[in-house]
Amino acid sequence: MRQTVQPLQAAFQFLTRFPVKAELDFTPELLRASTRHYPLVGAVIGVSICAAALLASWLLPPLPAAVISLIIWVWLTGGLHLDGWMDCADALLSYRPREKMLEIMKDSRVGAMGVLACVLLLMLKAALLSSLIAAGQLAISCALLTVPVWSRWFMVYAMSKWPSARDGEGLAAKFGGLNASNAQSAAVSAILITFLGMTIPLLVFGVTIGLPAASYGIYFFAAPLLTLAAGVYAGSRVNKKLGGLTGDVYGALNEGLECLLLLAAVILFL
């Protein structure tokens, strides 16, 4: 029982601010075991943001409702992945040698490129959320119950596919030894969660026959394929530059894929 519960608790404590009360020793073994629950963590984050977006949209116009939803989104994750996004922007856009880029990522200070990348990312997310809220309850529900699931699944895939860039040091090294079975197990969970995440809103809010119905069906299959294709492309580029990935890169991949999947939802649902 303990071997089942602790990895789940570790996943929530590590990735979110949800009040999971447990004294855990975050050993590499526990961290690796927790990755199979990353899609579930993404689903709970998605449900929370979806509830906030639906409530805010009843009281406010789409844009302020979207901004409030985004604030809750950032708070729920503690800005963990945004920090990785900013560090990667500072390092990878500096066009320095590999060793210097890794040094920049370790620096706790944020540079100009990191700030710009963060502001632009949040602006894009707010705009996409606003568009989905304006499209209706079904569109925002299906998107938010899917996007955080697949972006977090890809972090597991990235951990299993590429080595750590720091030769045994840093956060990424603690996930070393993760194999394809971990990513496959997480993928099964992500598929089941996505099916429920898109079926339940359809049952609750309904959908007309025709193009809208086809759009939701396309999104169900497009989300994982788009995540894999875009994630592998980005991960391969970073791996080529750094000789592996870091914890910051995992967070940056998550943020970038969330934006990409939200964009796909806007294209399909509007």
pLDDT, one tens digit per residue, over 163-216 is: 998 876 777 778 877 888 889 999 999 999 999 988 888 888 776 655 566 888
Higher pLDDT, 18 or 211: 18
- The pLDDT of residue 211 is 54
**Beta-bridge partners for 164:** 245
The stretches of the chain forming alpha helices (DSSP H) are: 2-15, 28-34, 38-59, 62-77, 80-92, 98-106, 112-135, 137-144, 147-161, 171-174, 180-205, 211-242, 247-269
> Model pTM?
0.94
Query: Is pLDDT at 1 greater than 60 in this prediction?
Result: no
Residue pointed to by tokens 């969330």: 258
Q: How many domains does the chain divide into?
A: 1
Among candidates 204, 197, 245, which has minimal Cα distance to 223? 197
CB 222 within 8 A of CB 264: yes
- The pLDDT of residue 178 is 82
Instruction: Tell me the C-alpha distance between 47 and 241, whole Å.
Output: 36
- The pLDDT of residue 263 is 97
Higher pLDDT, 70 or 96: 70
pLDDT, one tens digit per residue, over 201-254 is: 888 877 665 556 688 889 999 999 999 999 999 999 999 999 999 999 999 999
* 3 state DSSP class of 208: coil
In which band, very low, low, confident or very high, does the pLDDT at 156 lie, cut at 50, 70 and 90? very high
- The pLDDT of residue 22 is 83
Query: Is pLDDT at 2 greater than 70 in this prediction?
Result: no
pLDDT, one tens digit per residue, over 79-134 is: 999 999 999 999 999 888 999 999 999 888 888 999 999 999 999 999 999 999 99
Question: What range defines the domain where residue 233 resides?
Answer: 2-269
